[in-house]
Amino acid sequence: MSNPIISLNHIDVTFYQKKRTIEAVKDVSITINRGDVYGIVGYSGAGKSTLVRVINLLQEPTNGSVVVNDETFFQADKETNKKIRIKTTDLRNRRRKIGMIFQHFNLLNERTVTENVAFALQHSKLTPDQKKVKVTELLKLVDLTDRAEQFPSQLSGGQKQRVAIARALANDPEILISDEATSALDPKTTNQILSLLKKLNEELGLTIVLITHEMQAVKEIANKVAVMQDGEIIERGSLLDIFAQPTQQLTKEFIETATNIDKAIATISSQPLVQNLNDNELFIRLSYVGATTDEPLIAGLFRDFQVTANILYGNVEILQNTPVGSLLVILSGTDEQIKAATSTLADHHVEIEILKGGK
């Protein structure tokens, strides 16, 4: 089922400056399958941008190999000092099949919207008339038909990014690299851009590599996630796995930014209800993924074990059409009752974390 379109193997990117060397990317291997929306998350300086620039060789790696569509773009071996590099003209042709959008849009300021998109078609084999049609179609796709003759300075951030998307799609690429494309936009515009990307992924089968420091963006559209720190991928997996069972501290931090559950725990813990927990009460966090929640588990706790559950806070995310939730609950009942209740919850793959015990 896996059908890799991009594979980066043992990529190192080292910058040599006068007195120091900076290892921006350290031995990173990553495989991205056709049709994936692959989110790469990390703080600035983690090496995300450098890593994705390796895909279309805007950044040449110091070591490792780059294979796109089963074609080796680049291969370098530190030990033997041998390098294989795709021919420059071929690279230019391949780059046309790898669209790229940027945080600051990077539009040509002295060209109109139409000219910006047409710039990407300079070397296309289409006739001038076909190019015109193509540009019109692209502008329609990103909903900017009425802005065709305006200059970038006359557009809003979201509109500029849509022009950039139209330009990136001009040569019908199979891959779209998004380098912090929504980071300079407000939340509403961010969502518009993200749903446009999602649509492109679903309708055109476009493979998207999404770099961002916003977990929100990843949560919306990615199916796979890698977390980068100090030039290395510290955790990776499907969106659901990462959200449900993060293992690294940094991953947890990022997820917290999207769910705010830790903040909720802190707030609720300071409330009298939790401060003055009775002996027979237990303040816990329930985390669950997917189907479990179809069953009325909470209601079942009272019915089957006479344990009352007071829900203080709940957060449910729908990721990849699967609910992922966290509940902050106070359970009350006898020791035996609570023990029986929690073991039933565990049987249903609900993760239980005891935040504060009554005794």
Partner 1 sequence: MTKWFSDTFPNVVYQGWTGDTGWWTSIVQTFYMTFWSAIFGGILGLVFGIGLIITAPNGIAPNKLLFWFFDKIVSVFRAVPFIILLAFIAPFTKLIVGTQIGTTAALVPLALGVFPFYARQIQVALAEVDSGIVEAAQSVGASFWDIVFGVYLREGRSEIARVSTVTLISLIGLTAMAGAIGAGGLGNMAIAYGYNRFATDTTLVATLLVLIFVLVVQLIGDYLAKKLSHK
Closest contact distance (angstroms) between CB of 353 and partner 1 is 44
What is the spatial distance between Cα 247 and Cα 90, in angstroms, rounded to a whole number? 42
Calculate the alpha carbon distances from 253 to 139, 223, 257, 258, 297 in Å. Answer: 38, 19, 6, 9, 29
Q: Please identify, using beta-carbon distances, which residue of 92 and 263 lies nearer to partner 1.
A: 92
Closest contact distance (angstroms) between CB of 53 and partner 1 is 8
Question: Contact letters (x/-) for partner 1, 134-153, by CB under 8 A?
Answer: -----------------xxx
172 binds partner 1 (CB under 8 A): no
From 25, 54, 107, 215, residue interacting with partner 1 (rule: CB under 8 A): 107
From 58, 204, 264, 340, residue interacting with partner 1 (rule: CB under 8 A): 58
Interface segment toward partner 1; rule CB under 8 A; list 105-113, 249-257, 311-319, 330-338: 105-113
Q: 143 in helix, strand or coil? A: coil
171 binds partner 1 (CB under 8 A): yes
98 binds partner 1 (CB under 8 A): yes
Calculate the alpha carbon distances from 113 to 54, 119, 147, 163 in Å. Answer: 28, 10, 7, 7
Contacts 24+ apart (CB under 8 A), 159-164: 160/105, 160/107, 161/101, 161/105, 161/185, 161/189, 161/193, 162/193, 162/196, 163/105, 163/107, 163/113, 163/116, 163/117, 164/101, 164/102, 164/105, 164/106, 164/107
What is the spatial distance between Cα 166 and Cα 225, in angstroms, rounded to a whole number? 25
Interface segment toward partner 1; rule CB under 8 A; list 18-26, 94-102, 263-271, 323-331: 94-102
109 binds partner 1 (CB under 8 A): yes
Q: Please identify, using beta-carbon distances, which residue of 95 and 236 lies nearer to partner 1.
A: 95
> Residues interacting with partner 1, by CB under 8 A?
56, 58, 92-96, 98-100, 102, 104, 106-111, 119-120, 122-123, 151-153, 164, 167-168, 170-171, 177
